[in-house]
Amino acid sequence: MWIKTFVAVGSAVLILGGTWTASWVIDERYAKVVQLPPIEEKIQLVGHKIDLVGKRLDQKLLDDRVNNLDERLWRLRNKYGQTCERNREVCKNVDRALKKLQMRQFKEPKR
């Protein structure tokens, strides 16, 4: 008779201990709701990163355009002389566009 009680009490202890251990493991393994940041913070963080990437891309595009116009102007001056005697209007237009882009480039802060 005492063996049946011993087995019943042992089984109850094992079941309760196993349940407690399983709940503790699940609780420690997965994040609790209070530990999770609100979704709005994540959205703002991702939006901020996208803005930074967009600004860097814009800056890169401006730099490339300035370098391209600068090279075109250098080639025109090399071909037609420093003052671009024969093709003055083209040189002026390229020079104007280059100066405009350089002003935009220095107005926007680099990131």
37: left (phi over 0), alpha (psi -120 to 50) or beta: beta
Quote the Cα angle for 57-59-63, to 5°. 115
Token pair for residue 78?
């090399």
Task: For residue range 3-13, list pLDDT tens digits in order.
Answer: 888 888 999 99
Residue 59 has pLDDT above 70, yes or no: yes
How many structural domains is the chain composed of?
Answer: 2
CB-facing half-sphere around the CA of 59: CA atoms within 13 A: 12
Distance of CA 9 to the CA centre of its chain: 59
60 & 18 share domain: no
User: What is the dihedral sign for C-alpha 106, 65, 97, 83?
Assistant: positive
Task: Please check whether residue 98 lies inside any domain of the structure.
Answer: yes
55 & 98 share domain: yes
At 20 the pLDDT is 93
Distance of CA 56 to the CA centre of its chain: 10
Q: Which residue has the tokens 């997965």?
A: 30
Task: Please check whether residue 42 lies inside any domain of the structure.
Answer: no
Task: For residue range 19-45, list pLDDT tens digits in order.
Answer: 999 988 888 887 666 666 677 777 777
Task: Please check whether residue 86 lies inside any domain of the structure.
Answer: yes
Residue 15, domain extent = 1-36
Residue 85 has pLDDT above 70, yes or no: no
52 & 32 share domain: no
- For the entire predicted model, the pTM comes to 0.43
Task: Please check whether residue 41 lies inside any domain of the structure.
Answer: no
64 & 99 share domain: yes
20 & 64 share domain: no
